Structure 1
Amino acid sequence: MSYSFEYIDIILLAMIAGFIFLRLRGILGKRTGFEGKTPPEFKRILKNVENNTAYKPNNKFDDGAKKEFLKGAKIAYETIITDFSDDDNKLTTSKPLLDDKILNQFNEALKERGNRGHFAEITFVGINSAEIKEHKKIGNVLNVTVNFVAEVITCIKDKNKNIVSGDPEKIKKIYDTWVFSRDTNSNNPNWQLVNTLT
Protein backbone atom coordinates (compact mmCIF):
# COMPACT_ATOMS: atom_id res chain seq x y z
CA MET A 1 0.00 0.00 0.00
CA SER A 2 2.87 2.40 0.78
CA TYR A 3 4.17 1.94 -2.77
CA SER A 4 0.82 2.94 -4.26
CA PHE A 5 0.80 6.14 -2.24
CA GLU A 6 4.30 7.00 -3.51
CA TYR A 7 3.16 6.56 -7.13
CA ILE A 8 0.14 8.79 -6.49
CA ASP A 9 2.40 11.46 -4.94
CA ILE A 10 4.72 11.34 -7.98
CA ILE A 11 1.79 11.64 -10.40
CA LEU A 12 0.32 14.57 -8.46
CA LEU A 13 3.67 16.37 -8.34
CA ALA A 14 4.15 15.80 -12.08
CA MET A 15 0.68 17.20 -12.79
CA ILE A 16 1.35 20.25 -10.61
CA ALA A 17 4.74 20.81 -12.31
CA GLY A 18 3.14 20.48 -15.76
CA PHE A 19 0.43 22.96 -14.80
CA ILE A 20 2.98 25.48 -13.54
CA PHE A 21 5.07 25.05 -16.71
CA LEU A 22 2.07 25.68 -18.95
CA ARG A 23 1.09 28.78 -16.96
CA LEU A 24 4.63 30.22 -17.14
CA ARG A 25 4.79 29.51 -20.87
CA GLY A 26 1.48 31.29 -21.39
CA ILE A 27 2.61 34.32 -19.38
CA LEU A 28 6.27 34.62 -20.50
CA GLY A 29 5.94 33.27 -24.02
CA LYS A 30 8.38 30.97 -25.73
CA ARG A 31 11.55 31.21 -27.78
CA THR A 32 11.07 31.09 -31.52
CA GLY A 33 13.39 30.57 -34.47
CA PHE A 34 13.14 34.25 -35.51
CA GLU A 35 14.91 35.70 -32.47
CA GLY A 36 17.75 37.97 -33.54
CA LYS A 37 16.67 37.78 -37.20
CA THR A 38 14.22 39.84 -39.20
CA PRO A 39 12.24 37.95 -41.85
CA PRO A 40 12.60 39.40 -45.37
CA GLU A 41 8.98 40.58 -45.52
CA PHE A 42 9.45 42.52 -42.28
CA LYS A 43 12.68 44.03 -43.57
CA ARG A 44 10.74 45.46 -46.50
CA ILE A 45 8.11 46.88 -44.13
CA LEU A 46 10.77 48.43 -41.87
CA LYS A 47 12.51 49.95 -44.89
CA ASN A 48 9.25 51.54 -46.00
CA VAL A 49 8.68 52.92 -42.50
CA GLU A 50 12.22 54.36 -42.42
CA ASN A 51 11.69 56.02 -45.81
CA ASN A 52 8.38 57.50 -44.72
CA THR A 53 9.83 58.84 -41.48
CA ALA A 54 13.08 60.10 -43.00
CA TYR A 55 14.22 63.68 -42.55
CA LYS A 56 11.57 66.09 -43.76
CA PRO A 57 12.80 69.69 -43.99
CA ASN A 58 10.77 72.46 -42.44
CA ASN A 59 9.36 74.33 -45.44
CA LYS A 60 8.15 77.21 -43.28
CA PHE A 61 10.73 79.99 -43.16
CA ASP A 62 9.54 81.23 -39.77
CA ASP A 63 11.52 83.01 -37.05
CA GLY A 64 13.06 79.76 -35.83
CA ALA A 65 14.11 78.76 -39.34
CA LYS A 66 15.56 82.23 -39.98
CA LYS A 67 17.61 82.06 -36.80
CA GLU A 68 19.07 78.66 -37.73
CA PHE A 69 19.67 79.83 -41.30
CA LEU A 70 21.67 82.87 -40.14
CA LYS A 71 23.89 80.68 -37.96
CA GLY A 72 24.81 78.60 -40.99
CA ALA A 73 25.11 81.66 -43.26
CA LYS A 74 27.69 83.23 -40.95
CA ILE A 75 29.78 80.05 -40.96
CA ALA A 76 29.50 79.82 -44.75
CA TYR A 77 30.50 83.47 -45.15
CA GLU A 78 33.65 83.11 -43.05
CA THR A 79 34.58 79.83 -44.73
CA ILE A 80 34.28 81.27 -48.23
CA ILE A 81 36.13 84.51 -47.42
CA THR A 82 39.08 82.75 -45.77
CA ASP A 83 39.26 80.17 -48.57
CA PHE A 84 40.45 83.00 -50.83
CA SER A 85 43.71 83.16 -48.90
CA ASP A 86 44.78 79.69 -50.08
CA ASP A 87 47.59 79.59 -52.62
CA ASP A 88 46.28 76.73 -54.79
CA ASN A 89 44.32 79.12 -57.07
CA LYS A 90 41.03 77.32 -56.50
CA LEU A 91 38.48 77.04 -53.75
CA THR A 92 38.59 73.82 -51.75
CA THR A 93 36.93 73.90 -48.32
CA SER A 94 34.12 76.16 -49.49
CA LYS A 95 33.34 74.25 -52.70
CA PRO A 96 30.20 72.49 -51.32
CA LEU A 97 28.82 75.89 -50.26
CA LEU A 98 28.75 77.28 -53.80
CA ASP A 99 26.62 76.53 -56.82
CA ASP A 100 28.48 75.79 -60.06
CA LYS A 101 28.13 79.30 -61.48
CA ILE A 102 29.58 81.07 -58.42
CA LEU A 103 32.26 78.42 -57.98
CA ASN A 104 33.47 78.96 -61.55
CA GLN A 105 33.45 82.76 -61.12
CA PHE A 106 35.44 82.60 -57.90
CA ASN A 107 37.93 80.10 -59.31
CA GLU A 108 38.46 82.30 -62.39
CA ALA A 109 39.25 85.25 -60.11
CA LEU A 110 41.72 83.14 -58.17
CA LYS A 111 43.29 81.89 -61.39
CA GLU A 112 43.77 85.46 -62.65
CA ARG A 113 45.33 86.45 -59.34
CA GLY A 114 47.69 83.48 -59.56
CA ASN A 115 48.65 84.33 -63.16
CA ARG A 116 49.72 87.78 -61.96
CA GLY A 117 51.92 86.13 -59.36
CA HIS A 118 49.84 87.56 -56.52
CA PHE A 119 48.52 85.89 -53.40
CA ALA A 120 46.26 87.04 -50.60
CA GLU A 121 46.79 87.12 -46.86
CA ILE A 122 43.43 87.22 -45.09
CA THR A 123 42.73 87.22 -41.37
CA PHE A 124 39.03 87.00 -40.57
CA VAL A 125 38.35 89.12 -37.48
CA GLY A 126 34.60 88.57 -37.16
CA ILE A 127 31.09 89.34 -38.36
CA ASN A 128 29.55 92.50 -36.95
CA SER A 129 26.09 91.77 -38.31
CA ALA A 130 24.19 89.46 -40.63
CA GLU A 131 20.62 90.41 -41.50
CA ILE A 132 18.11 88.90 -43.87
CA LYS A 133 17.23 91.56 -46.43
CA GLU A 134 14.54 89.52 -48.17
CA HIS A 135 13.47 85.99 -49.00
CA LYS A 136 11.58 84.79 -52.05
CA LYS A 137 10.23 81.40 -52.99
CA ILE A 138 10.10 80.58 -56.69
CA GLY A 139 8.47 77.20 -57.14
CA ASN A 140 10.26 74.87 -54.74
CA VAL A 141 13.38 77.05 -54.54
CA LEU A 142 13.78 79.47 -51.62
CA ASN A 143 16.24 82.35 -52.11
CA VAL A 144 17.40 84.36 -49.11
CA THR A 145 19.35 87.60 -49.45
CA VAL A 146 21.64 88.48 -46.54
CA ASN A 147 23.50 91.72 -45.75
CA PHE A 148 26.84 91.04 -44.05
CA VAL A 149 29.05 93.52 -42.23
CA ALA A 150 32.38 91.97 -41.26
CA GLU A 151 35.92 92.89 -40.30
CA VAL A 152 39.03 91.42 -41.91
CA ILE A 153 42.72 92.10 -42.20
CA THR A 154 43.70 91.59 -45.81
CA CYS A 155 46.43 92.42 -48.25
CA ILE A 156 47.59 91.24 -51.66
CA LYS A 157 51.30 90.52 -52.16
CA ASP A 158 53.36 89.71 -55.23
CA LYS A 159 55.76 86.81 -55.61
CA ASN A 160 58.49 88.86 -53.89
CA LYS A 161 56.10 89.44 -50.94
CA ASN A 162 55.79 93.13 -51.70
CA ILE A 163 52.39 94.58 -50.79
CA VAL A 164 50.30 95.31 -53.86
CA SER A 165 47.13 96.36 -52.04
CA GLY A 166 45.66 96.32 -48.57
CA ASP A 167 47.36 96.66 -45.20
CA PRO A 168 48.49 93.69 -43.06
CA GLU A 169 48.25 95.84 -39.94
CA LYS A 170 44.84 97.42 -40.48
CA ILE A 171 41.38 96.04 -39.81
CA LYS A 172 39.05 96.71 -42.72
CA LYS A 173 35.26 96.73 -42.54
CA ILE A 174 33.57 95.06 -45.51
CA TYR A 175 29.97 95.08 -46.64
CA ASP A 176 28.59 92.21 -48.70
CA THR A 177 25.15 91.17 -49.91
CA TRP A 178 24.92 87.49 -50.74
CA VAL A 179 22.05 85.32 -51.96
CA PHE A 180 21.69 81.76 -50.67
CA SER A 181 19.36 79.19 -52.14
CA ARG A 182 18.00 75.68 -51.50
CA ASP A 183 15.33 73.37 -52.85
CA THR A 184 12.69 73.08 -50.12
CA ASN A 185 11.57 69.68 -51.45
CA SER A 186 15.05 68.23 -51.10
CA ASN A 187 16.06 66.14 -48.09
CA ASN A 188 19.42 67.92 -48.23
CA PRO A 189 19.22 70.75 -45.64
CA ASN A 190 22.31 72.57 -46.99
CA TRP A 191 22.18 75.99 -48.61
CA GLN A 192 24.41 77.22 -51.43
CA LEU A 193 25.62 80.67 -52.39
CA VAL A 194 24.11 81.51 -55.80
CA ASN A 195 24.83 85.22 -56.19
CA THR A 196 26.81 88.15 -54.79
CA LEU A 197 25.36 91.65 -55.09
CA THR A 198 27.20 94.95 -54.98
Structure 2
Amino acid sequence: MRTIWELQPEENNDITVKMGSNDFITLFFLVAAVLIFLQLRSVLGRRTGHEKPPFEPMSPREQARPEPVDTGKVITLPRREFSDNEDRLNQADLYAKPGTEANNDLRELMKVDPAFDPKGFFQGARMAYEMIVTAFAEGDRKTLRGLLSPEVFESFQSAIADRESRGEKVKFTFVGISRMDLSRIDIKGSDVQITLSIGGQFISATLDRSGQVIDGDEEQVAEVSDIWTLSRDMRSRDPNWTVIATESEH
Protein backbone atom coordinates (compact mmCIF):
# COMPACT_ATOMS: atom_id res chain seq x y z
CA MET A 1 0.00 0.00 0.00
CA ARG A 2 1.32 3.39 -0.92
CA THR A 3 1.93 5.99 1.78
CA ILE A 4 -0.04 9.17 1.22
CA TRP A 5 2.13 11.47 3.20
CA GLU A 6 5.97 11.71 2.75
CA LEU A 7 8.22 13.86 4.89
CA GLN A 8 11.39 15.35 3.30
CA PRO A 9 13.85 17.78 4.92
CA GLU A 10 14.39 21.10 3.19
CA GLU A 11 17.35 23.33 3.31
CA ASN A 12 15.79 25.52 5.92
CA ASN A 13 15.15 22.40 8.03
CA ASP A 14 11.38 23.02 7.87
CA ILE A 15 9.21 20.04 7.36
CA THR A 16 7.01 20.27 4.26
CA VAL A 17 4.20 18.10 3.05
CA LYS A 18 4.55 16.42 -0.30
CA MET A 19 1.46 14.99 -1.83
CA GLY A 20 0.83 13.15 -5.11
CA SER A 21 -1.91 14.11 -7.59
CA ASN A 22 -3.92 10.91 -7.00
CA ASP A 23 -3.73 11.43 -3.27
CA PHE A 24 -5.08 14.93 -3.65
CA ILE A 25 -8.14 13.76 -5.63
CA THR A 26 -8.89 11.05 -3.10
CA LEU A 27 -8.65 13.52 -0.24
CA PHE A 28 -10.95 15.95 -2.06
CA PHE A 29 -13.75 13.44 -2.44
CA LEU A 30 -13.35 12.28 1.14
CA VAL A 31 -13.74 15.81 2.49
CA ALA A 32 -16.71 16.43 0.17
CA ALA A 33 -18.43 13.25 1.37
CA VAL A 34 -18.00 14.29 5.00
CA LEU A 35 -19.46 17.75 4.33
CA ILE A 36 -22.45 16.31 2.45
CA PHE A 37 -23.14 13.81 5.23
CA LEU A 38 -23.10 16.54 7.87
CA GLN A 39 -25.38 18.73 5.77
CA LEU A 40 -27.92 15.94 5.21
CA ARG A 41 -27.91 15.00 8.85
CA SER A 42 -28.64 18.55 9.88
CA VAL A 43 -31.64 18.63 7.52
CA LEU A 44 -33.04 15.09 7.80
CA GLY A 45 -32.77 14.97 11.52
CA ARG A 46 -34.85 18.11 12.00
CA ARG A 47 -38.72 18.06 12.40
CA THR A 48 -40.71 21.02 11.22
CA GLY A 49 -44.14 19.91 12.44
CA HIS A 50 -45.50 19.56 8.88
CA GLU A 51 -44.45 15.96 8.21
CA LYS A 52 -46.98 13.61 6.57
CA PRO A 53 -47.75 10.36 8.39
CA PRO A 54 -46.00 7.30 6.97
CA PHE A 55 -47.86 5.44 4.24
CA GLU A 56 -48.97 1.94 5.26
CA PRO A 57 -50.07 -0.01 2.18
CA MET A 58 -51.43 -2.92 4.24
CA SER A 59 -53.59 -0.80 6.53
CA PRO A 60 -57.41 -1.03 6.16
CA ARG A 61 -59.03 1.39 3.69
CA GLU A 62 -61.19 2.77 6.44
CA GLN A 63 -58.12 4.42 7.97
CA ALA A 64 -57.75 6.64 4.92
CA ARG A 65 -61.28 8.03 5.30
CA PRO A 66 -61.56 11.47 6.86
CA GLU A 67 -63.36 11.81 10.14
CA PRO A 68 -66.98 13.01 9.80
CA VAL A 69 -67.45 16.69 10.42
CA ASP A 70 -70.33 17.77 12.63
CA THR A 71 -71.77 20.83 10.94
CA GLY A 72 -74.74 21.08 13.26
CA LYS A 73 -77.19 20.68 10.35
CA VAL A 74 -79.78 17.89 10.22
CA ILE A 75 -81.56 16.89 6.99
CA THR A 76 -84.91 15.27 7.70
CA LEU A 77 -86.69 13.34 4.96
CA PRO A 78 -90.36 14.27 4.67
CA ARG A 79 -92.71 11.83 6.32
CA ARG A 80 -96.45 11.87 6.11
CA GLU A 81 -97.77 11.97 9.64
CA PHE A 82 -101.04 13.07 11.16
CA SER A 83 -101.23 14.73 14.53
CA ASP A 84 -104.52 12.97 15.22
CA ASN A 85 -107.16 10.87 13.54
CA GLU A 86 -109.17 13.96 12.55
CA ASP A 87 -106.31 15.15 10.31
CA ARG A 88 -106.39 11.81 8.53
CA LEU A 89 -110.15 11.88 8.06
CA ASN A 90 -109.96 15.38 6.61
CA GLN A 91 -108.31 13.85 3.52
CA ALA A 92 -111.82 12.83 2.49
CA ASP A 93 -112.51 16.46 1.57
CA LEU A 94 -109.98 16.16 -1.29
CA TYR A 95 -111.99 13.41 -2.99
CA ALA A 96 -115.61 14.20 -2.11
CA LYS A 97 -117.32 17.49 -1.44
CA PRO A 98 -117.66 18.15 2.31
CA GLY A 99 -121.16 17.63 3.65
CA THR A 100 -122.20 15.25 0.87
CA GLU A 101 -123.23 11.63 1.33
CA ALA A 102 -120.16 10.52 -0.58
CA ASN A 103 -117.89 12.44 1.81
CA ASN A 104 -119.61 10.88 4.83
CA ASP A 105 -119.29 7.42 3.28
CA LEU A 106 -115.58 7.95 2.66
CA ARG A 107 -114.98 9.10 6.23
CA GLU A 108 -116.84 6.07 7.53
CA LEU A 109 -114.69 3.74 5.43
CA MET A 110 -111.51 5.41 6.71
CA LYS A 111 -112.73 4.81 10.29
CA VAL A 112 -113.61 1.17 9.66
CA ASP A 113 -110.42 0.46 7.68
CA PRO A 114 -107.47 2.50 9.07
CA ALA A 115 -105.26 1.18 6.25
CA PHE A 116 -107.45 2.67 3.51
CA ASP A 117 -105.69 5.47 1.61
CA PRO A 118 -107.97 7.57 -0.66
CA LYS A 119 -105.08 8.88 -2.74
CA GLY A 120 -103.71 5.41 -3.38
CA PHE A 121 -107.16 4.08 -4.22
CA PHE A 122 -107.91 6.74 -6.83
CA GLN A 123 -104.48 6.38 -8.40
CA GLY A 124 -105.00 2.63 -8.68
CA ALA A 125 -108.53 3.06 -10.04
CA ARG A 126 -107.25 5.32 -12.83
CA MET A 127 -104.61 2.79 -13.81
CA ALA A 128 -107.14 -0.05 -13.73
CA TYR A 129 -109.58 1.88 -15.93
CA GLU A 130 -106.96 2.48 -18.63
CA MET A 131 -105.77 -1.13 -18.51
CA ILE A 132 -109.29 -2.57 -18.74
CA VAL A 133 -110.64 -0.46 -21.61
CA THR A 134 -107.40 -0.99 -23.55
CA ALA A 135 -107.40 -4.73 -22.93
CA PHE A 136 -111.04 -4.98 -24.03
CA ALA A 137 -110.32 -3.18 -27.30
CA GLU A 138 -107.30 -5.43 -27.96
CA GLY A 139 -109.07 -8.62 -26.89
CA ASP A 140 -106.53 -9.22 -24.11
CA ARG A 141 -108.42 -11.77 -22.02
CA LYS A 142 -105.49 -12.48 -19.69
CA THR A 143 -105.32 -8.90 -18.43
CA LEU A 144 -109.08 -8.67 -18.07
CA ARG A 145 -109.31 -11.89 -16.05
CA GLY A 146 -106.99 -10.49 -13.39
CA LEU A 147 -108.93 -7.24 -12.95
CA LEU A 148 -112.57 -8.25 -13.29
CA SER A 149 -114.89 -10.41 -11.24
CA PRO A 150 -115.85 -13.70 -12.94
CA GLU A 151 -119.28 -12.32 -13.88
CA VAL A 152 -117.93 -9.12 -15.43
CA PHE A 153 -115.12 -11.00 -17.16
CA GLU A 154 -117.60 -13.37 -18.76
CA SER A 155 -119.57 -10.39 -20.09
CA PHE A 156 -116.44 -8.80 -21.58
CA GLN A 157 -115.20 -12.10 -22.97
CA SER A 158 -118.56 -12.74 -24.63
CA ALA A 159 -118.45 -9.33 -26.35
CA ILE A 160 -114.87 -9.98 -27.55
CA ALA A 161 -115.78 -13.43 -28.91
CA ASP A 162 -118.82 -12.03 -30.71
CA ARG A 163 -116.69 -9.32 -32.29
CA GLU A 164 -114.06 -11.84 -33.38
CA SER A 165 -116.69 -14.13 -34.90
CA ARG A 166 -117.69 -11.32 -37.27
CA GLY A 167 -114.08 -10.63 -38.19
CA GLU A 168 -114.16 -7.16 -36.68
CA LYS A 169 -111.19 -5.33 -35.19
CA VAL A 170 -110.92 -2.27 -32.99
CA LYS A 171 -108.43 0.56 -33.49
CA PHE A 172 -108.03 2.11 -30.06
CA THR A 173 -105.96 4.87 -28.48
CA PHE A 174 -106.38 5.80 -24.83
CA VAL A 175 -106.27 9.58 -24.35
CA GLY A 176 -107.02 10.12 -20.67
CA ILE A 177 -109.56 10.49 -17.88
CA SER A 178 -111.38 13.80 -17.67
CA ARG A 179 -112.92 13.05 -14.26
CA MET A 180 -113.32 10.35 -11.66
CA ASP A 181 -115.92 11.13 -9.01
CA LEU A 182 -116.93 9.15 -5.95
CA SER A 183 -120.62 8.26 -6.16
CA ARG A 184 -121.17 6.08 -3.11
CA ILE A 185 -119.62 3.51 -0.79
CA ASP A 186 -121.35 0.41 0.54
CA ILE A 187 -119.93 -1.54 3.46
CA LYS A 188 -121.36 -5.00 3.99
CA GLY A 189 -119.51 -6.78 6.77
CA SER A 190 -115.88 -6.91 5.67
CA ASP A 191 -116.78 -6.32 2.02
CA VAL A 192 -116.39 -2.76 0.68
CA GLN A 193 -117.88 -1.62 -2.61
CA ILE A 194 -116.93 1.76 -4.07
CA THR A 195 -118.88 3.16 -7.02
CA LEU A 196 -117.21 5.70 -9.30
CA SER A 197 -118.47 7.95 -12.07
CA ILE A 198 -115.77 8.07 -14.74
CA GLY A 199 -115.29 10.23 -17.80
CA GLY A 200 -112.97 8.40 -20.21
CA GLN A 201 -111.42 9.93 -23.33
CA PHE A 202 -110.15 7.82 -26.20
CA ILE A 203 -110.13 7.36 -29.96
CA SER A 204 -111.94 4.20 -30.99
CA ALA A 205 -113.13 2.78 -34.28
CA THR A 206 -114.52 -0.66 -35.09
CA LEU A 207 -113.53 -2.03 -38.51
CA ASP A 208 -115.22 -4.83 -40.47
CA ARG A 209 -113.45 -7.59 -42.38
CA SER A 210 -112.73 -5.26 -45.28
CA GLY A 211 -111.26 -2.57 -43.01
CA GLN A 212 -114.21 -0.21 -43.29
CA VAL A 213 -115.23 1.78 -40.19
CA ILE A 214 -118.61 0.58 -38.98
CA ASP A 215 -118.61 2.28 -35.59
CA GLY A 216 -116.72 5.14 -33.96
CA ASP A 217 -114.09 7.37 -35.55
CA GLU A 218 -110.41 6.80 -36.34
CA GLU A 219 -109.44 10.39 -35.55
CA GLN A 220 -112.08 11.95 -33.33
CA VAL A 221 -111.61 11.89 -29.56
CA ALA A 222 -114.76 10.58 -27.88
CA GLU A 223 -115.70 10.93 -24.22
CA VAL A 224 -117.62 8.11 -22.59
CA SER A 225 -119.27 8.32 -19.17
CA ASP A 226 -119.25 5.06 -17.21
CA ILE A 227 -120.24 3.91 -13.75
CA TRP A 228 -117.88 1.31 -12.31
CA THR A 229 -118.09 -0.47 -8.96
CA LEU A 230 -114.96 -1.89 -7.34
CA SER A 231 -114.91 -4.30 -4.44
CA ARG A 232 -112.44 -5.60 -1.86
CA ASP A 233 -112.53 -7.73 1.30
CA MET A 234 -110.96 -5.72 4.13
CA ARG A 235 -109.83 -8.93 5.85
CA SER A 236 -107.77 -9.99 2.84
CA ARG A 237 -104.04 -9.34 2.63
CA ASP A 238 -104.47 -8.78 -1.10
CA PRO A 239 -104.55 -4.98 -1.57
CA ASN A 240 -106.04 -5.21 -5.08
CA TRP A 241 -109.59 -4.19 -5.94
CA THR A 242 -111.83 -6.05 -8.39
CA VAL A 243 -114.32 -4.49 -10.80
CA ILE A 244 -117.65 -6.14 -10.07
CA ALA A 245 -119.99 -3.98 -12.22
CA THR A 246 -119.83 -1.63 -15.19
CA GLU A 247 -122.52 0.31 -16.99
CA SER A 248 -122.87 3.35 -19.21
CA GLU A 249 -123.90 6.60 -17.55
CA HIS A 250 -126.72 8.38 -19.36
Tell me the distance in 2 between the aligned counterparts of 1:76 and 1:178. Answer: 11
Partner of 1:155: 205
Matched, 1:188 2:244: no
The structural deviation recorded for 1:106 is: 0.3
How far apart in 1 are the matches of 2:224 and 2:247? Answer: 13
Q: 1:66 to 1:112 in 2, by over 3 A?
A: same
Counterparts of residues 12-31 of structure 1 (less than 5 Å): none
1:5-44 alignment runs, 5 A limit: none
Q: How much does 1:85 deviate?
A: 2.3
| Whole-angstrom CA distance in 1 between matches of 2:156 and 2:196 | 19
Corresponding residue to 1:122 among 140, 157, 172 = 172
RMSD (CA atoms) = 1.9
119-128 or 58-67, larger mean C-alpha shift:
58-67
Identical-residue share of aligned pairs (%): 29
Instruction: Quote the Cα distance in structure 1 between the aligned partners of 2:111 and 2:167.
Output: 46
| Rounded Cα–Cα distance in structure 1 between residues aligned with 2:164 and 2:129 | 22
Contact kept? 1:90, 1:107, Cα under 8 Å: no
Given candidates 68, 77, 86, the residue that maps to 2:120 is 68
Q: What secondary structure does 2:173 align onto? A: strand
- Classify the secondary structure of the residue corresponding to 1:160: coil
Counterpart among 80, 83, 91 of residue 135 in structure 2:
83
Higher-Rg structure is 2
Task: Give the structure, 1 or 2, with the largest relative contact order (CA under 8 Å, sep 6 or more).
Answer: 1
Question: Structure 2 regions of 5+ residues with no counterpart?
Answer: 1-109
TM-score (norm: length of structure 1):
0.66
* Cα pair 2:175 2:201 within 8 Å, conserved: yes
Displacement, 1:99? 0.8
Residues 150 and 90 of structure 1: is their aligned pair in 2 closer, same or farther, counting only changes over 3 Å? closer
Q: Secondary structure at the match of 1:82?
A: helix
Query: Is the CA contact (8 Å cut-off) linking 2:191 and 2:234 kept in structure 1?
Result: yes
Normalised TM-score (structure 2): 0.52
How many Å apart are 1:117 and its aligned residue?
1.2
| Structure-2 separation of matches of 1:156 and 1:120 | 4
Residue 226 of structure 2 corresponds to residue 176 of structure 1: yes
User: What's the offset of the Cα at 1:64?
Assistant: 6.5
Equivalent in the alignment of 1:93: 143
> What's the CA shift string for 1:79-111, capped at 9, x where partnerless?
00001222xx45222321111110111000100
